[in-house]
Structure 1
């Protein structure tokens, strides 16, 4: 198996017309693209017919909505069986910049053992509640990993080595919905997978631009609170080992934003 053979993985659920823009930009990068339609009911996935038939493009469809983590896990298993070693997760809602895909893959090729975590660079249009609220989750994630180096626990643009991520997801019945990004960040850190933070501009498209958010403030914050309560239990069980294992060996690598 090659050491580094990447694909782009885009889960989508009722993303609306912006889905085709996201996929078109990803396809234009020249790298293989996979889209996992997570039980969408708005007909947005009909636009994907534009890309079907391309040798570097695949669509996987789940009959019912199972959550972001479950959709990504489905895509990971399929990608692994097709010989891919790494997957760059991108949201379908236009938040993540396709012009950074090559940068993620370049760094991933240099460090195939690592996960490349996007570290969001917000502009003035970013909702204050989203910018400020994530600081709480980031605090707990870094406590639960004893400072393994997670700049942002919620940002979804990440390049994962596929096999370790599947192992992490197979080890828990959680991390299948909005809790996916922060929970796998902590669990990959517990496994000792190195993390490199990649500063990445994040965009929040307006409603006029077709922006649609699946984030629900009360529901998802309750989910995150419950998740961190669970992870704290796991942290206390692992704390002696985490304290003596040393630092993230790639923590000093933090590429500049472009």
Structure 2
């Protein structure tokens, strides 16, 4: 894409992603303008490498945070800055190459047709996907649909999605959570509570082995405990909001 969008941008939160980040950024830039990368305190040298790319690409912007704050905090930093500069929507894509950059135009088009909605990627797994993670996400998805009274969330964990910026900033400023791994599922639940409708689109996901350059920061024990605490909080919020959600459904 050669002409910059004045409303929609691609936002890539990045923390120690390894060499895959350069492929991800180049692939995103082939599909969209502008692309912003928020470097969340990376210590693997990729901040400097991305800044070198930025120096030769007016469609790329690299924002470097001084320390690691978490994915949600990095996204919030990016969308707050984007909102101040007049952008209305942000497509988030992970920096590790797992998400399909070639689908960026399709997701952006869906968002432009339904600007009030959040456009959620529904993962299409191949043989590279760890079975434990594929099965485990079904639990989180079930809870997210219960907590929204089945508002239509296709997948709560897949981070390839387009957010309307203003309501996302509103829900994140309203409480102190959603700053780390719990960002993706809590964002869709709280946006659904706010009345933001979901649009679901299928999107393939690729898990790379270490020898292929894959880098994973997922920790089964730590992150599943974080998700458990998150769904406990969200369920209590769901109970308080149940009359409103029922009226909305009826």
TM range (shorter): over 0.9
1:42 is displaced (CA, Å) by 1.1
Q: Secondary structure at the match of 1:153?
A: coil
1:20 to 19, 22, 34: 22
Judged with a 3 Å threshold, the aligned counterparts in structure 2 of structure 1 residues 210 and 142 are, in CA distance, closer, same or farther, namely same
**Mapped contact 1:13–1:65 kept (Cα < 8 A):** yes
Question: What SS does structure 2 have at the residue aligned with 1:26?
Answer: helix
1:119-175 C-alpha deviation (Å, 9 max, x unpaired): 000001111111010011001100000000111110000100110100010111000
Question: 1:134 aligned to 2:143?
Answer: no
Match of 1:175 in 2: 178
Q: RMSD value over aligned CA atoms?
A: 1.3
Q: Is the 8 A contact 2:40 2:68 kept in 1?
A: yes
Secondary structure at the aligned position of 2:199 is classed as: strand
Kept after mapping to 1: 8 A contact 2:151/2:192: yes
Please list, as runs of the form range in 1=range in 2, the aligned pairs for 1:9-88 lying within 5 A after superposition. Answer: 9-48=11-50, 49-88=52-91
| Structure 2 CA distance for aligned equivalents of residues 141 and 128 of structure 1 | 20
For the 8 Å contact 1:168–1:188, the answer to whether it is kept is yes
Aligned equivalent of 1:206 = 209
| Distance in 2 (alpha carbons) for counterparts of 1:134 and 1:52 | 39
Residues 133-172 of structure 1 aligned to structure 2 (within 5 Å): 133-172=136-175
Conserved in 2, the CA contact under 8 Å of 1:52 and 1:58? no
Q: In 1, distance between residues paired with 2:157 and 2:32?
A: 27
CA distance in 1, matches of 2:151, 2:144: 9
* Pairs within 5 Å for 1:102-251: 102-246=105-249
Q: Size of the alignment, in residue pairs?
A: 245
SS of the aligned residue for 2:249 comes to coil
Say whether the 8 Å CA contact 2:47–2:64 is kept in structure 1: no
Q: How far apart in 1 are the matches of 2:89 and 2:121?
A: 15
With normalisation by structure 2, the TM-score equals 0.95
SS in 2 for 1:245: helix
Displacement of 1:208 after TM fit?
1.7
Question: Quick check: 2:10–2:32 contact (8 Å CA) kept in 1?
Answer: no
Gap regions ≥5 residues in structure 1: 248-258
TM-score normalised to structure 1 length: 0.92
Is contact 1:95–1:204 with CA below 8 Å preserved after alignment? yes
Deviation at 1:31, TM superposition (A): 2.0
Cα pair 2:20 2:96 within 8 Å, conserved: yes
Gaps of 5+ in 2: none
Structure 1: distance between partners of 2:6 and 2:155: 25
CA shift for structure 1 position 46: 2.1
Misfit runs of 4+, over 4 Å: none
